[in-house]
Amino acid sequence: MNARSPNSFPERRSAISRRSALLLALSSSGALAQGFGGLGATAPGFAIPRAGTPLAFPRDHGAHPDFRTEWWYVTANLKGDDGAAYGVQWTLFRFALQPNAARAGWDDRNVWMGHAAATSASEHLFAQKFARGGIGQAGVEASPFRAFIDDWVLETRDDSTEAGIERLRVAASDKSFAYALDLTATGPVVLQGEGGYSRKSEAGQASYYYSQPFFRAEGSLSMNGRKIQVSGRAWMDREWSSQPLGADQKGWDWFSLHLEGGARLMLYRMRSVEAAPFLLGNWIDADGATSILAREDIFLEPLERTRIVDRDVPIRWRVKIKNRDVDIETRPLNPRSWMGTDFAYWEGPIRFTGSHSGEGYLEMTGY
């Protein structure tokens, strides 16, 4: 057999090889040991979130190399010029394989992972990318803000060197879909939890967490060759920690909801193998004022499940917020919004009716 240069191998084989190598590195580091995606593994040598630590911008839009993991997350509920509903997701994850992982060039010990998806009532298309740190394949700059993995980008549209996340562009593409959206903030950044310190368990696991839930979105979306002009609402989440889950917490159910009238609602339920679920939320008024929702304020009940890839996944929910007179039922745009990535989960756009109406996104892991 004739020898061939590395550049002559098909792009697909190269992508698989890179993914396999990076997954092997994650596995060898112990990062996948406990909890969904290894987020419940202990993290000696890494920084841990502390209550009372103030967040600072634009600094905290960027990466936090002292922490083991973090992500930049955008979801958008959109309406097309064809009158149909759509949703898109863009996510960038950073995983440090060991403490002091940020190094020059090939010595860098960070792994980056990107997820992107486009959803309609009949299709859910997704893609995944892996990259290593230190060599320009992926990264985040705080100011001017830019997050990227290969040609997938979430970046400021402003020229200022101090530009933050008020005006962003988000874009991703794969063989079957592509999107490019302009995001414009119409309200303030929201600190989740206690001033950005977000508890995840009774045992003390936590993360730093803030959101920009007031984006207006406009742009284009292509699905299997069909291009649509779209507009709607988007939500950005930023979170970082070193052990955000307890060792026995197997996954979560997370809601980000846009209520008609301008309010927003964020809820999550962290599920444990034996202990009762840990619930927390945040009521966000139209002007950005927030009120923490404790376990006793929140009622979440799965109403319907569907079988996806040999898993029973709850796709329809009843949500009650007792001190806000909220009693709603959520339904997915596409019940089969399964992200069949290496860390598989369900994520897709939803609508809700009842005491309040609106739209949002639901993410469910660990099923």
Domain ranges for the chain? 14-365
- Contact between 362 and 330 under an 8 Å Cβ cutoff? The reply is yes
Cβ neighbours of residue 54 closer than 8 Å, sequence gap 6 or more:
195, 196
Q: Is residue 289 classed as helix, strand or coil in its secondary structure?
A: coil
Q: Is residue 39's pLDDT more than 80?
A: no
Identify the DSSP state of 297: G
Q: What is the pLDDT confidence band of residue 22, given thresholds at 50, 70 and 90?
A: low
CA dist., res. 107 & res. 168, Å (int): 31
Identify the DSSP state of 55: P
Average pLDDT, whole number, for the chain? 90
18, containing H or E segment: helix 11-29
Cis omega before residue 144 (within 30°)?
Answer: yes
Q: What is the pLDDT of residue 245?
A: 75
Mean pLDDT of 300-321: 96
Q: What is the pLDDT confidence band of residue 160, given thresholds at 50, 70 and 90?
A: confident
pTM: 0.90
Q: What is the pLDDT of residue 162?
A: 77
Tens-place pLDDT, residues 174-219: 999 999 999 999 999 999 999 999 999 988 889 999 999 999 999 9
Q: What is the pLDDT of residue 101?
A: 87
What architecture (CATH level 2) is domain 14-365? Beta Barrel (2.40)
Tens-place pLDDT, residues 268-309: 999 988 889 999 999 999 999 999 999 999 999 999 999 999
Q: Give how far Cα 358 sits from Cα of 77, 127, 323, Å.
A: 10, 27, 19
CA dist., res. 346 & res. 325, Å (int): 28
Q: What is the pLDDT confidence band of residue 8, given thresholds at 50, 70 and 90?
A: very low
